[in-house]
Amino acid sequence: MDDHHPAGSPRDDSALIKMKSIVIYYSQTGNTKKIAEAIYAGMSEVSDKCVIARLQDVDTGDLAGYDLIGLGAPVWHRREPANVMNFIEYTMNAVEGKHGFAFCTHGLYPGRFLARVVMLLIQRGLTIIGWNNWYGSVFLPEKPKPYFTDGHPDEIDLAEARDFGRKMVERSRRIYAGEDGLIPSLPQGREYDELYPGPPRGIHRTTEQRELIGIRAFEYSINKEKCAYPKCTVCIDNCPTHSINLSVSPPILKDTCDRCSYCEQICPRGAIEFDWEPIVKIVDEDAIRHFTRVSEEAESKGLFRRLVPLKDVGWKTPWYTHKKPPRLKPL
């Protein structure tokens, strides 16, 4: 965990809010990491003790001493990644009565992430004092590249995140001082769906197409010629759900794999293979229209700032066609 040491002359700590806070994040392609760092910078401007930590580096004992705990992650499959759910349910301890906030980055569909994470954190005994979401670039092998939301988070997003961080500390101080009226409630039902859209409804899919979408990930094949296990364990070390064991068959545990494609994307030798072509073929004119409409609706509500013109969305050039694995480097 890093303590914040702003460059330049030493600051006057006596003017800062006396509070110990932590920002915990999970990030695979860097979007949530950038937002988390900006939130942390904002919090550090107004509070005297703030740290930032990757979710993987936080152990149970770490949280007992914090007054304010922020937790952020990418949206996966319209909700929180499984490792984030496990973290909240099993790793977070001694957090009753503390303040918390949640944040995420996502492509077009934030979906149920905030509703679920806020509920899970409340169930752990935290008082949730805020939440926020930002668009982020998308690097899924079968998705168009450029994607609708590429270019986010940009400087404007990061300035917002910094401001959000400052606000969370200031709000927390006031609530601890007795201003309970400042505790917000998450919008419900239609109001929630308007703010945090799910995927477009009404795209017609055959049973075969549904099955194809569902199997992505754990139907990978490991090319034994290319795989350098046990000398190389990059996929094992970076699998968020610890679902890979290359010494058994099948090597990817179907029941726990969160279908994130990270192993296939980061393998230094491209030894984890998958045929993306059939999945990409599912995308037809109907699907393109639906996705386009969701982006336009979000834009018209002022939720989405488009940086990639619609005509440049790379439907014919999905991410996997741009680069052979390794496409991503583990963070």
CA within 13 Å, CB half, 109: 16
Please identify which residue in 108, 129, 234, 252 interacts with ligand FMN, judged by CB under 6 A: 108
CA distance 186 to 130: 9
Own/partner contacts of 61-66, CB < 8 Å, gap of 24 or more, are 61/93, 61/94, 62/1, 62/22, 63/22, 63/92, 63/93, 63/94, 63/95, 63/98, 64/93, 64/94, 65/20, 66/20, 66/21, 66/22, 66/98
Please identify which residue in 138, 246, 267, 298 interacts with ligand FMN, judged by CB under 6 A: 138
Q: Binders of ligand FMN among 293-322, rule CB under 6 A?
A: none
Is 32 a binding residue for ligand FMN by CB under 6 A? The answer is yes
Q: Which stretch binds ligand FMN (CB under 6 A): 4-12, 63-71, 102-110, 117-125?
A: 102-110
Q: Among all chains, which residue has been given the structure tokens 């350098």?
A: 228
Please identify which residue in 27, 47, 132, 238 interacts with ligand FMN, judged by CB under 6 A: 27
Alpha-helical (H) ranges within 177-318 are: 189-195, 207-215, 234-238, 262-266, 277-281, 285-300
Comparing CA positions, the residue from 219, 214, 211, 252 lying closest to residue 235 is 252
Q: Binders of ligand FMN among 210-229, rule CB under 6 A?
A: none
Please identify which residue in 70, 107, 141, 325 interacts with ligand FMN, judged by CB under 6 A: 107
Is 29 a binding residue for ligand FMN by CB under 6 A? The answer is yes
Q: Binders of ligand FMN among 143-172, rule CB under 6 A?
A: none
CA distance 240 to 262: 9
Nearest to ligand FMN of 106, 162 (CB atom)? 106
Q: Which stretch binds ligand FMN (CB under 6 A): 37-45, 106-114, 155-163, 171-179?
A: 106-114
Q: In the bound complex, which residue of the shown chain has the CB atom lying closest to ligand FMN?
A: 136
Is 78 a binding residue for ligand FMN by CB under 6 A? The answer is yes
Closest separation between CB of residue 110 and ligand FMN, Å? 6
Nearest to ligand FMN of 75, 88 (CB atom)? 75
Please identify which residue in 21, 31, 47, 295 interacts with ligand FMN, judged by CB under 6 A: 31
Quick check: 280 and 318 in contact, CB under 8 A? yes
Amino acid 123 reads Q
The answer to whether the Cα torsion of 272, 218, 85, 149 is positive or negative is positive
Nearest to ligand FMN of 66, 147 (CB atom)? 147
Is 133 a binding residue for ligand FMN by CB under 6 A? The answer is no
Q: Write out the residues near ligand FMN by the rule CB under 6 A.
A: 27-33, 74-78, 105-111, 136, 138, 140, 259-260
